[in-house]
Chain A
Amino acid sequence: KNEVEQSPQNLTAQEGEFITINCSYSVGISALHWLQQHPGGGIVSLFMLSSGKKKHGRLIATINIQEKHSSLHITASHPRDSAVYICAVRGATNAGKSTFGDGTTLTVKP
């Protein structure tokens, strides 16, 4: 079992739909990171969380430390949101090494 599990693996939505991507982890962490990877391979940092909730434009990220779970929400989805979304955690131990989820491939159709 991976230390970081994302669901769903693939997600197709219609433009305008509300999107939720989930991330569960099994280790103690000091921070969790949501990343967006575009088809060309480049990666953009969306959020870094250690507690609570963060919002940036149409993106919202939440984390529940007790439940070891985080969600990334996209409101009013748009085809340009189509990308791979990756959850990564920074360990509270093991020299703070990072572990990456396998990613969720989101396709938003017009």
Chain B
Amino acid sequence: SAVISQKPSRDICQRGTSLTIQCQVDSQVTMMFWYRQQPGQSLTLIATANQGSEATYESGFVIDKFPISRPNLTFSTLTVSNMSPEDSSIYLCSVGDGTWGYTFGSGTRLTVV
């Protein structure tokens, strides 16, 4: 299965700033998935990132807040924009087959102060 390198592993950010999270995969994959896990809760899919097209966002998530790039088949970024304390979560990328991811990155633990 694919190996994913996710950076940063954690960060503490000021309110109103933005953070970009990177995921690098060691093989070419069609679909990459971005998840959020708020404290004490399970994973929620933010969006599905396809190479060469706009990401598909789930209900409750918008591109202005969570812009995603997918420049090639091995790399994607998720930006958390204009952050507030409510954005404090673990963010994970994932790759898999066409409908869900089953290999996960190590996660980015974000704290907004």
Contact = CB atoms under 8 A, between A and B. Distances in A.
Interface stretch (A14-22, A39-47, A65-73): A39-47
B107 A42 contact: yes
A43 B92 contact: yes
B53 interface: no
B90 interface: yes
A33 B44 CA distance: 15
A43 B42 contact: no
Interface string A34-52: 0100001111110010000
Nearest to A41: B107
Interface residues of A, number: 20
A90 B100 CA distance: 7
Which bracket fits the contact residues of B?
20 to 34
A98 B98 CA distance: 12
A12 B94 CA distance: 29
Nearest to B33: A98
B106 A42 contact: yes
A100 interface: yes
Nearest to B56: A95
Nearest to A84: B42
Nearest to B44: A100
A94 to B, nearest CB: 10
B99 A41 contact: no
Interface in B65-93: 90, 92
Contact of A90 (B42, B90, B92, B99): B99
Nearest to B92: A43
Contact of B42 (A45, A95, A96, A100): A100
Given A97-B45, A102-B41, A103-B42, A40 B102 contact: no
Given A41-B92, A86-B43, A103-B42, A98 B100 contact: yes
Interface of A: 33, 35, 40-45, 48, 86, 88, 90, 95-98, 100-103
